[in-house]
Amino acid sequence: MATTIRPATRADVPQILAFIRALAAYERASEAVTATEASLELEGFGPNPFYFCLIAEHDGQTAGYAIYFFNYSTWVGPGIYLEDIFVEPELRGRGIGKALLERVAAIAVEKGCQRLQWAVLDWNTPAIEFYRAMGADFLDEWRNVRMSGEALKGLAGEVDGACAPWNPAEDDLQ
């Protein structure tokens, strides 16, 4: 019963989307998924990827995935944010999730990242116990903040459905 972890390729995009949908269903948010194969291919395998993905295979079958991206802390420097980690329900308990998490941690160390960070739903007791057993710290004093949809567009100053393109030379925040 061998588990392997490998970087995802463009050919994995349909499976990545299937994993995303399965994770969303588990998290009771199926309706929230707007990703498509086209968007995943462009955003993960284009010239400037927004995310990176690892695929877990167990006994020759696709078993799970992890999606991560690099972030930056002004306090400690570069880090990795683990957006998704998922293992097919029938394959859980075989060390596949741990292998995915270990590989993301190894990438963080290889790249000189100072931390690995992610979120977990407060009702997901199996995941919380799993992360706690791995030595993760829970930052209960911090609140996740998100802005999306019309609020994001409004803050960005979108007018008539379009934002002016960003020009770093004109950015007054430099």
Domain ranges of the chain: 3-162
The tokens for 51 are 């995310």
**Tens-place pLDDT, residues 12-61:** 999 999 999 999 999 999 999 999 999 999 999 999 999 999 999 999 99
Per-residue pLDDT for 174 more than 60? no
Kindly give, in sequence order, each residue whose CB lies less than 8 Å from that of residue 20, ignoring residues fewer than 6 positions away: 33, 35, 40, 84
Question: What is the tally of helices (H) and strands (E) in the chain?
Answer: 5, 5
Reported as type and span, the H/E element at residue 86 is strand 77-87
pLDDT digits (tens, 9 = 90+) for 74-108: 999 999 999 999 999 999 999 999 999 999 999 99
Considering the candidates 26, 65, 81, 131, report the single residue annotated as catalytic: 131
pTM (2 d.p.): 0.88
* 3-162: CATH, from 3.40.630.30, 3.30.470.20, 3.40.50.300, 3.40.50.80: 3.40.630.30
Catalytic site includes residue 131: yes
Report residue 47 as tokens.
């010239």
